[in-house]
Chains A and B, each alone.
Chain A
Amino acid sequence: MNAVRRMRLAAALLLALALAAAAAPWIAPASPSRQDLAATLAPPSRAHLLGQDKLGRDILSRVLHGGRVSLAVGLTTVTASLVIGAALGAVAGYAGGWLDDLLMRIVDVLLAFPGLLLAIALTAVLGASVRNVVLALCVIGWTGYARLARGEAHRLRRREFVEAARALGASDRRILWRHVAPLLTAPLLVQATFGMASAIVAEASLSFLGLGAQPPTASWGAMLNDGRAFVLVAPHLTIFPGLAIMLTVFTLNFLGDALRDLLDVRPPTDLWR
């Protein structure tokens, strides 16, 4: 499959997932929090396609609503991290000097931690909530974009077209915006696609540990945590939310691969030849 077709396929899948999540209040067969204590842990049936959980809530509805949390956290985290990281990185890389050194030291220290561990620590200290999950993921997330933007800007600032712009009297701000920034978009876009996949996994991990979305909010990670106690008797509690995470992450990674090959950010990954 060539990169264009892969990208279209992945984009279509992603759009379908996003639409399903966005339209959850209208297309979900039931309210995600409506309990039916007469039918706790009921397996999949005609009325409840994916079965019911420990409080008799409809799992399909909760998976659909959980998608809203996952995608919202993913999108917010990536947007905020990207804007902050890319701006700091591009300015530091272009300017060089002490600003550049300082920024890179901060990035190095943050990257000395496994990201998920820092997020666990931060949410544990800040308190469990979706807002704090986004905050914690941003604290770590911006570093990747900063490092990428810094590297590219640093490389570009000695190129002839930048020198030429400067010789023509363009200000640094203009050069950054008009000549450097446009060249950063492709690599940043690719990184953001993968970043969104990792943000979604990280949110689910934190929710799985009880540090993310709090009950009764439906979140894929929290649903998996709920299902853990019933793995023996009701595996459907575990299977479907996990499938949703996997499908979403797979789609984003697939899109990222296609975009990378398409935009020629790095040599093609050669995965689909």
Chain B
Amino acid sequence: MTRLALRRLALAIPTIVAAATLVFLLVHVVPGDPVDVMLGESAAPADRAALRQALGLDRPLVAQYGAFLAGLATGDLGRSVVSGEPVARLVAARIPATVELTLGALAVAIAIALPLGVLAAARPGTWIDRGAVAFALLGAAMPSFWLGPLLIIAFAIELQILPVSGRGGLAHLVLPACTLGVGMAAILTRMTRASVLECVGEDYVRTARAKGVGRVRVLARHALANALAPVITILGLQFGALLAGTVITETIFAWPGVGRLTVEGIQARDYPVLQGCILAIAAGFVLASTLADIVNAALDPRTREAR
């Protein structure tokens, strides 16, 4: 088990390096001169040359790439063009807020989806099942940049029971976490429902029932346990959408995380910061899907043998 975990983690490293390469190419090879974008096309030639040199853009591409990778290995992501601070420190300072928001959203998604999905599958065709299906369809169609403002209108302005924005205690986390988590809750509800429905028809469920095990216990111990693998896989895959979603949710709620820093980097045309943020989010995504793989293997011996 430990060996498998280590192997999966080792496999994540080349993926992160590939992702870093893509980010590098994005900034350096995509048509358009970053210096033009940062300074405007009417900037003085001397200023442009100075910035070009400061960013190392005057060196050959291969040398730049080498320096980029070497920096990456030592945790050096360059310096912000705007504040001059090391990008690694800027990004690191924002990571706790984003982790808090993402875990909050994950908790919201799981707390809604698992009970709702299992209940719907246990009572197909009833009102609870129809409700779950309606929630899955509506939740998946609801963009976060609409849900967020709607929640603000309802809970922060009309009812005045939760803060409008910013980061603070648990009360501050509720609206952003719901905004970010509902889309995932919709997908997970659907997945859980379908997965449990499939397991309910299996022989081992009938055997358990025939042995006299109660309905609830069969659902929880037998059907849900087996239905969990696809749900966890989806959880890992959807985690990326969750992380990318922080860019929007953090903007809506003025949440001081990596997503907000990404937008600040874009607005200030601060390419090193933008590059660092995207790298951090992509690395988080790769780690999350690796973790989902490991958890799946831990829960299900069959996937372990298959590898």
Contact = CB atoms under 8 A, between A and B. Distances in A.
A235 interface: yes
B22 interface: yes
A49 to B, nearest CB: 19
A269 B195 CA distance: 10
Contact of A254 (B26, B137, B243, B267): B137
A239 B150 contact: yes
Contact of A231 (B152, B197, B267): B152
Interface string B113-141: 00000000000110000000100111011
> Which bucket holds chain A's interface residue count?
35 or more
Interface string B141-156: 1110110011011000
A201 interface: yes
B50 to A, nearest CB: 21
B282 A120 contact: no
Contacts of B23: 121
- Interface range, B side: 35 or more
B282 A117 contact: yes
Interface stretch (B27-35, B61-69, B91-99, B218-226): B27-35
A208 B259 CA distance: 14
Interface stretch (B82-90, B168-176, B205-213, B245-253): B245-253
A204 B145 contact: yes
B143 A249 contact: yes
A205 B286 CA distance: 23
B10 interface: no
Interface string B16-51: 001100110011001110100100000000000000
Q: Which residue among A114, A115, A247 has the maximum number of chain B CB atoms within 10 Å of its CB?
A: A114
Contacts of B197: 270
Nearest to B240: A114
Interface string B226-250: 0000000000000011011101100
Nearest to A233: B157
Nearest to B241: A114
8 contacts: A125-B26, A125-B30, A204-B143, A205-B143, A224-B145, A227-B149, A231-B149, A271-B133
Interface of B: 15, 18-19, 22-23, 26-27, 30-32, 34, 37, 124-125, 133, 136-138, 140-143, 145-146, 149-150, 152-153, 157, 190, 194, 197, 240-241, 243-245, 247-248, 251-252, 262-263, 266-267, 271, 274, 278, 281-282, 285-286
